[in-house]
Amino acid sequence: MPELPDVAAYLVALEPRVLGQPLTGIRIASPFVLRSVDPPPPAVCGRHVRALRRVGKRIVLALEDELFVVIHLMIAGRLHWKDAPGAKIPGGKRGLAAFDFPTGTLLFTEEGTKKRAALHLVRGEAALARHDAGGIDPLAADAPAFRAALTRESHTVKRALTDPRFFSGIGNAYSDEILHRARLSPVKLTRHLTDEEIARLREATRATLQDWIDRLGAEARRAFPEKVTAFRPEMAVHGRFGKPCPDCGAPVQRIVHADNETNYCARCQTGGRLLADRALSRLLHQDWPKTLEELETLGRGAV
C-alpha cells in the first residue's frame, strides 16, 4: 500500500505535469472506482489544478471553485503518467480511470481482483475534510502531540502507528522500518512505553519518513514513479524475512496475522525473543483488524 513517502513522491512527480493545467476530461473504465455522485465528472472537467495535497494516504487534486479529485490507492492502486493526451486506459480489469490534461494522461490502475481503490469527486473543504481520518502529521507533530496520539488508546505500538485516527500516512511497511530504527518491539503496548521510548519512537518516525521522502522524491524528479512498491531492497526489515538485519546480522523475523505481516529483528528489537506464541496470537486477535482495508476505513476515513 502506498504510504506517506510514496504519496509524497507522486505529488512531486505530478507537480510539473499537472499543476496549473486544466483537467480536460475524466474517463471511467470501472464502474466500481467512482464512489461519489456530487459533483458528477463533467462538473470538474475544464477546471484548472490549483494545488496538490495529501490527505492521509489519499492524493488530492484541488481544482478551481473548491472542487477536489480524491484518489485513494488502497492496497494495489497505482498511478501512471503518459505524455500523450488521451492515452488508452489499460484493458481488462486493471484499468480504472484516466485523467486527461493538455500535457498528458494520468492513468489510474489496480492490480488484483478485490477492487479496493477508490475515486471521489468532492465539492467544498468541509466535504474534503470528511476524507481525513483525523490522525496527526507525524512529521510536524511536537512531542506532546505525538505522545497524546500514541497513548490515546491502549494498543500494540505497531497498531497505534498504523491507525489513521492517530497518525496520518503510516502503514505496514514504514511502521516496520520505524520500529526497527527505534529498537522497539512491534507488540509492546503503548501504555507500557517509557518516556525515553516514546521520545526515541518519535525521532525514529520523523527520521525514517523524512529519509524515504527525500529518497523517493529525488527519484520522482528524475522520472514518474511507475513501480511503487512496499518492498524495497534498501529497507532494513520490511519484506526481508530470513535475510540478515543490516545492523546486527541476525535473520529478520516475521509475524503473520490475518492480512498483515510484521517484520522485525529479534536481536535489535525484542532482546532476542521470537514473537510467536499463543499469548501473542490472542493479543493480535484482539488488537488488530481482520483486514488492512478495515484498518484504513477507521473513523472519518470510512467515506
Q: Return the domain boundaries, the chain.
A: 4-129, 143-302
Residue 255 near residue 188 (C-beta atoms within 8 A): no
Assigned C-alpha cell, 218 = 529525488
What are the residues whose beta carbons fall under 8 Å from the beta carbon of 144, sequence distance 6 or more? Answer: none
Q: What is the pLDDT of residue 294?
A: 59
Q: What is the pLDDT of residue 274?
A: 84
Please tell me the CATH code under which domain 143-302 is placed: 1.10.8.50
Q: Please give the backbone phi and psi of residue 167, each rounded to the nearest 5 degrees, phi first.
A: -130, 140
CA distance 30 to 77: 13
DSSP-derived letter for residue 232 is -
The SS3 of residue 77 is strand
Q: What is the pLDDT of residue 277?
A: 55
Fold of 4-129: N-terminal domain of MutM-like DNA repair proteins (3.20.190)
Q: What is the pLDDT of residue 301?
A: 44
Low-confidence ranges of the chain (pLDDT < 50): 292, 301-302
With 0-12 / 13-18 / 19 or more C-beta atoms within 10 angstroms meaning exposed / middle / buried, residue 300 is: middle
E strands, the chain, in order: 25-28, 49-55, 58-63, 67-72, 77-82, 95-101, 104-110, 118-123, 253-257, 260-264
Written in H, E and C, the secondary structure of 25-63 is EEEECCCCCECCCCCCHHHHCCCEEEEEEEECCEEEEEE
Q: pTM for this one? A: 0.90
- Rg of the chain over all Cα atoms, to the nearest angstrom: 20
